[in-house]
Chain A
Amino acid sequence: MGGRMRLKTKLNQVALQLVLLVIGLFVVLPIWGILRLALDGSLHSRATSFRLFPQTWSLTGLLKVLESPYQSVVFSRLLINSLLVSISAALLAIIFGMMLAYAMARFRFPGKKLGMTVVLLTAILPPIAFVIPLYVLMSALHLRTTLLALVLVYAVFGLPFCIWNLRAGFLAVSKEVEEAAYLDGAGPWATFIRIVLPLASPSIFVAGMISFLLAYSEFAIGWLFVEKASNVTLSMAVYAMVQSGNAQPWNMLGSFIILISIPAVVIFLLFQALIVKRMMFGYLD
């Protein structure tokens, strides 16, 4: 390879890295905007002048969030509420979704095609489309302001997605394996639990994660239901802090935002390939 050739490749590489850097800056810009706030100990209210970096680096914002994130409610209470609601909602969506998905993937029954269209349609509707009736229903059951209502509502949001995805997951499990288990004398439940579940576990895991994150990061609809401070979730508390504007230093707000996005980011980064595959509604199978 001649010197000119090498120079050309080098220049290409520099140009390529520059373009990637521009995209990278675009990606990082809003994240850094919040991080800068979170790490600035000098803030007493909103940021009043333009700075690329914190004036005084400190973690006081984070500490304050851990101390009193929302009214008189302690952080652990919010965390427990969030986990309780998200995990229960995800479990409900997974359990019911799994059964319907298995039925749709494996058996012939009348109305299956229509059922699948309905599931697809409900999967692509915005969550707000289910809120009014659930609001009235939960009010009538005197459950509206409780965590149970949130669990049910978030489970409803996650269910259609779970059904659609798990169906694709179950379809990917070869039928021959199941039939072999039958021949060995395993009953339908045993086959499902011992053979199908383990094979489909990546899809189940991803569907569960997505449902979990859906519930974990939801706040707008939560605020339509919950009234008591002790029933607030982390995401709802963040929004409350945003709404209250300059009442507290914005390093607190920044820290709170960073703090609650950590779990989601970790999950997505760890399982990206799997999640993309499942998010494509089975198109990649």
Chain B
Amino acid sequence: MRYRKLAVQIVLMLLVVGLSGFLRWKAVNTLGIDYDEDDYLRAAQQFSTLIKTRDFAGFLETNYRPEHPQLSKILLGLSLLPEKDYPLVQDSPTTAGPNVFLPRPLVKNARMLNAAFGVASTAAISVLNPIGGLLQAVHSFNVKYTSEVMLESVPAFTSFMVVLFYLLWRKEKVSRRRQTTWLILSAVFLGLTAASKYMYAIVGAAVFLDWLLLPRQEKPARGAKWLPALWVLSALLVFFITFPYLWKDPIPRLLDSVFYHVRYSTGAAEVQSANYPVWQPINWLFFSPKIWESDAFIFALDPLITLLALFGLVRLWKKYRVFVLWLMIGIVFLLFWPTKWPQYTILLTAPICLAAAEGLDLLVGTPLRGLFTRWKHRSEETAKPAKYEFRKVLPWLIPGLIFFTLFTLVPLFYQFGVSLTDSNSNSLREAMQGGISRVLAGGISGNQPVSLQEFPYTSNLLHYLGFSNFIPLIQYLEQTGVFSYNLIWTLLSVLLQTTLGVSAALLLWQKRARFRSFWQALFILPWAIPEMIGALMWRNVFLPETGWLALGVAKYGSSFPFAFLADWQNTPEKTLVILLIAGLWYGFPFIMLAASAGLKFIPAEVMDAASIDGAGGWQRLRHVVLPLLAPLVLPAMILRAIFTFNQFYLFQAFYQFSGTLATLSYNFFNTTGYFIHGQFSISAAVNMITLVILLIFVLFFIQLEKDINGGTHAVEN
């Protein structure tokens, strides 16, 4: 039985690795020359020449593009050895566009080397989770940057090996010698990672943190206290050994190399002109480079993988916390890192793909297995549960069901139909006369060929587009970052609302708080005011020129409180801040009320007992109050998350026409707006995407509840 499982896993791994190789091979051959490929090819050529001429002392002095360490470039140089010599690629400024005249055989060799490391990463991830490997294999950003002459591929592989060996070390319970081997290998790979590209060394921080967070009972068995320090030191040693450029003059050269970025990010023209928002790294996670080069990639599932990863985080945390730490440290790092190039996404693909694999299992795997076991045990099921009460229920069901079906369900299905056509305000007349169903019938039966229409649609005749209607929309969402913006907005907003809501409840709950009912009644006001009125109120505070803030700044200058926000409409970050302020205002009272309801249930005895046991204020909060609040605050947070995800009036009032999917849908639809208007089918397609996301959301919570209550897991073994 065990061998069969192993055999299945090996076959799966081989398939995944094969797919990974094929996709990267295709990309190596079809991708156009990208920015920076000339730089790294030039660096590789230099090392290749040094090796060919046996000038090994040259390694101490050669490091073209000195902001990056040498190892990746040396490996790329090795890949060029079999080729004849070509003239050295010319040194061009970083602002230069892609150099399309690079010697192709060299490019191909260097790319193939990187692709090999990309496939090795796939294999390594598959050892842990074949589905995770599969997702990494098809991840189009990963395919792109592990198949180009970039520096990402080697450190992506070595950084994963750091974690893999660390996990093996943790798993090894018997042999001391094997423990030592795994730990040393982990440190070696950390050193190699840092020597390939500095940024990837954050994996070391994740491992280190995970190590520190290990439960106490596990720690002594894992060696002395100084072991983590020794691990770091050995990694540093390996880093130094594999970075010969440092041997001669270590500290100044290292500092120069590392701090290059400070100068680069504040001065370089291309960083300035890119003008990405702070959260651009997250936008890249919801983007696929298939939009740029459609031929080079087969799959464009990156946004879906990221979405699945969001839902798999909790499970991954329980299984392999270190990957979640890696992901969190990585995202925080990239948010603060001033340059926002898309290749940095590779830093995160391994943990994201593993989280996505867990998410996929949670949403699809577990329910399917549940169905399978139920089907297997169908004969064992005892007598059917109590009979249906058809006759009794019908009089209640029929009237409501007719209304619900006619005005809620049929519209949703109809809308799905609309999203497969090019319906727009010009073809409304035809749509009114049953045109949608006519066109759909024609399209689905194949009588009417799919006709591609130019977006935005203006034809006054209806056409069947099928799912191809979703392609321009999804590209629009990815390019404008609407989708990731919507998620970032929801996440931050709910976090702020919860913080203030719970804090306000705790403050009011204090035994000696005076004027309690006054404050409570005041704090509830924003919740009682209709959303649209609240939006108009905040508009009056923040609107450029006419708003309170703008008038205040005009009168008192920049010493006016919050004056730095006055020009919010010019920077996306400030726009987000003012929307978050308004969102906080809307949302915190509800959380506060839910938390207050929870606080009422906490008996005074519990608190007294805790204080007698010597628990301080913070400990009581952390271990007594918050756990008791969670069952009430969590559902309130979920509700707020849904409302916040769908927030519409606020964005509409601040002219953020593509702030959330709901706002976008409204403005695509609106027949008279300033926006790209009257696009019924695109609006319907946006709603379909919203529907799918919210459906995943609902399934996720149903499944999570089951997970927590230990529902389906018992039958698995």
Contact = CB atoms under 8 A, between A and B. Distances in A.
B653 to A, nearest CB: 8
A183 interface: no
Contacts of B556: 50
A238 B556 CA distance: 31
A4 interface: no
B55 to A, nearest CB: 66
Contact of B393 (A109, A218, A264, A277): A109
B409 to A, nearest CB: 7
Interface in B613-667: 632, 635-636, 639, 642, 646, 648-649, 652, 661-662, 665-666
A31 B525 contact: yes
B524 A100 contact: no
Interface stretch (A15-23, A61-69, A70-78, A199-207): A15-23
A107 B526 contact: no
B255 interface: no
Contacts of A96: 399-400, 403-404
Nearest to A139: B432
Contact of A103 (B400, B411, B527, B636): B400
Given A47-B551, A117-B698, A122-B408, A28 B403 contact: no
Main SS at interface, chain A: helix
Interface string B670-693: 110000000010011001001100
A87 interface: no
B232 interface: no
B432 A136 contact: yes
A121 B695 contact: yes
A137 B400 CA distance: 19
Interface string A80-109: 000000000000100011111011000111
Contacts of B632: 280, 283-284
Given A20-B507, A34-B537, A264-B530, A130 B523 contact: no
B414 interface: yes
Given A16-B510, A126-B662, A132 B636 contact: no
Contact of B522 (A16, A27, A102, A261): A27
A33 B548 contact: yes
Given A268-B527, A281-B639, A20 B519 contact: yes
A132 B648 contact: no
B649 A220 contact: yes
Contacts of A26: 585
A281 B684 CA distance: 27
A280 B635 contact: yes
A264 B418 CA distance: 36
A257 B665 contact: no
B500 A23 contact: yes
Given A128-B648, A269-B524, A34 B532 contact: no
Contact of B428 (A28, A31, A99, A139): A139
A129 B415 contact: yes
A46 interface: yes
* Most A Cβ at <10 Å: residue of B393, B396, B669: B396
B266 interface: no
A160 interface: yes
A229 interface: no
A256 B390 CA distance: 52
A229 B540 CA distance: 26
Interface string A124-162: 111111111111110110000000000010011001100
Interface stretch (B159-167, B283-291, B589-597): B589-597
State which size class the interface on B falls in: 35 or more
Contact of A281 (B428, B552, B635, B690): B635
Contacts of B635: 280-281, 283
Given A19-B507, A49-B555, A124 B698 contact: yes
Nearest to B434: A140
Nearest to A46: B546
Contacts of A135: 669
Given A23-B523, A30-B540, A129-B665, A268 B528 contact: yes
A103 B397 contact: yes
Nearest to B407: A156
Contacts of A140: 432-433
Nearest to B425: A135
Contacts of A198: none
A254 B540 CA distance: 9
Given A23-B500, A242-B536, A125 B694 contact: yes
B669 A107 contact: no
B523 A24 contact: yes
A169 B526 CA distance: 26
Contact of B551 (A20, A50, A254): A50
A247 interface: no
Interface string B534-547: 10111111000010
Contacts of A172: none
Which 10 residue pairs of A and B lie closest in terms of their CB atoms, listed nearest first? A268-B528, A217-B530, A133-B411, A100-B400, A30-B537, A126-B662, A126-B646, A107-B393, A50-B551, A103-B396
6 contacts: A16-B510, A23-B523, A126-B661, A128-B683, A238-B536, A272-B528
Given A279-B590, A284-B632, 8 more contacts: A17-B514, A99-B400, A108-B386, A109-B397, A135-B669, A216-B530, A217-B532, A283-B636
Interface of B: 385-390, 392-393, 395-397, 399-401, 403-404, 407-412, 414-415, 418, 428, 431-433, 436, 500, 504, 507-508, 510, 512-515, 519, 521-534, 536-541, 546, 548, 551-552, 554-556, 582, 585, 590, 593-594, 597, 632, 635-636, 639, 642, 646, 648-649, 652, 661-662, 665-666, 669-671, 680, 683-684, 687, 690-691, 694-695, 697-698, 702
